[in-house]
Amino acid sequence: MKQKQVIQQLLDKAVVQIDGSQPGDIQVHNDGLYNRVLTEGSLGLGESYMDGWWDSVQLDEFFSRIHSANLDDTVVDKRLIYNALKARVFNMQNKRLSKRVAHEHYDLDTEFYEKMLGPSMQYTCAYWKRAQTLTEAQEHKLDLVCQKLQLREGERVLELGCGWGGFARHAATKYGCSVVAYNISSQQVAYARRWNAGLPVEIIQDDYRTATGEFDKVAAIGLCEHVGYKNYRTLMETVHRTLKRRGLFLLHTIGNNKSVLTSDPWFDKYIFPGGMLPSVAQLSTSMDGLFVLEDWHNFGPDYDRTLMAWYHNVNLHWDEFKSKFDERFHRAWHYYLQSLAGAFRARRIHLWQVVMSKDGILGGYEPVR
């Protein structure tokens, strides 16, 4: 069978047509695509997109269909080529840290993130339940975290991984808390310190594992995706060590339906080097005997909407960055935001806010939504 036919038969299960005109269909500009996908898997799929070998009217919808069809779970044929395809396109490979690309990704001009993320500078999932705009939804997410943590004036909050300092600022200005936050990115630390100048917020440029002291509450928002499965227990132990008895810990993370020990090679190479999505099983094994699980909230579809809002912002402002980033980077960014949106839409991955307490909240914990 020709390679194109192999691919089309697989795509049939996801109702995706090659050179079709529906939103999730793909247009192939270079027939080398089929061989590249069959031999290089998900890395080849992503890199060939960056190279302009194929397009989709709606890339997010293409990925939503691929994931909804459970293509990786479907035994479509006994023939070797199908198995090879399955293994390469969907299974994770050993992580391959790419310092060069990490540098490219993380040292992007802060101005680019300001345009993409908007004034909240929140690079994690927003909460859309009662929001109309991204800015509102990010404000609501910060409030949701503060309310779930039951923040009270004068409380001491530890934040592990703090991005550009938006949560620390919110907890300090709206809830009257003092915050100690850890982050290893010098650029983010500098930004967070400026943004929190004059507030009871201390930004420490160090690894989360070095955190000391005793806190009323602990938050980790978007950190867990970066620590790797070998460190989930260490993360939990770090929180357990620094949290007061009967204190609350909120973990905000993307999660996976299945336990995996590796990450997607394209994302690993171009977007989040060393990134890895935990499963419920991995997180709960790592909290076993340390915390009481008070509340587990899954609002993954809100990340679909958040990513599409970022995608919209990137397109809106692209002309301002044309001189800095080439078209290949532009396409990579499209691919990143839209393929991830499709995975959330298909419920293949999730956004979890997990609230844990040390020894339990007496009388019970009242969940907030």
Residues in contact with its own copies by the rule CB under 8 A = 68, 70, 257-259, 279-281, 283-285, 287-289, 291-302, 345-348, 350, 352, 357, 359-365, 367, 369
Q: Are 238 and 160 in contact (CB under 8 A)?
A: yes
* Least distance between its own copies and beta carbon 85 (Å): 20
Q: Which is nearer to its own copies, 226 or 347 (CB)?
A: 347
Task: Determine whether 73 is exposed, middle or buried from the number of CB atoms within 10 Å of its CB (0-12, 13-18, 19+).
Answer: exposed
* Least distance between its own copies and beta carbon 224 (Å): 15
Q: Which is nearer to its own copies, 121 or 276 (CB)?
A: 276
Closest CA to 149 of 352, 296, 360, 357: 357
* Least distance between its own copies and beta carbon 363 (Å): 6
- Reduce the DSSP state of residue 202 to 3 states and report it: strand
Q: Which is nearer to its own copies, 171 or 224 (CB)?
A: 224
* Least distance between its own copies and beta carbon 234 (Å): 16
Q: Which is nearer to its own copies, 72 or 207 (CB)?
A: 72
How far is Cα 163 from Cα 9, in angstroms, rounded to an integer? 43
* Least distance between its own copies and beta carbon 253 (Å): 13
- Reduce the DSSP state of residue 185 to 3 states and report it: coil
* Least distance between its own copies and beta carbon 345 (Å): 8
Closest CA to 167 of 126, 134, 114, 207: 126
Q: Which is nearer to its own copies, 187 or 298 (CB)?
A: 298
- Cα 364 to its chain centre, rounded Å, is 30
Render 51-62 in DSSP notation, one character per residue: TTSEEETTHHHH
Render 76-123 in DSSP notation, one character per residue: --SSHHHHHHHHHHTS-B-----HHHHHHHHTS-HHHHHHHH-TT---
- Residue listed under structure tokens 């994690």: 124
* Least distance between its own copies and beta carbon 246 (Å): 9
Which residues, including other chains, have CB under 8 Å from residue 137's CB and lie 6 or more apart? 126, 127, 128, 131, 302, 305, 306, 309
* Least distance between its own copies and beta carbon 364 (Å): 4
Instruction: Report which residue type is found at 290.
Output: L
Q: Which is nearer to its own copies, 168 or 343 (CB)?
A: 343
Q: Which is nearer to its own copies, 258 or 328 (CB)?
A: 258
Q: Which is nearer to its own copies, 69 or 220 (CB)?
A: 69
* Least distance between its own copies and beta carbon 294 (Å): 6
- Reduce the DSSP state of residue 227 to 3 states and report it: helix
Torsion angle of the four alpha carbons 260, 358, 125, 262, in this order, in degrees rounded to the nearest 10 = -10
Q: Which is nearer to its own copies, 105 or 140 (CB)?
A: 140
Instruction: Report which residue type is found at 124.
Output: T
Q: Where are the beta strands (DSSP E) in the chain?
A: 26-28, 54-56, 156-160, 178-183, 201-205, 215-221, 243-256, 292-298, 349-357
Question: What phi, psi does 155 have (nearest 5°)?
Answer: -75, 150
Q: Which is nearer to its own copies, 85 or 355 (CB)?
A: 355
* Least distance between its own copies and beta carbon 172 (Å): 30
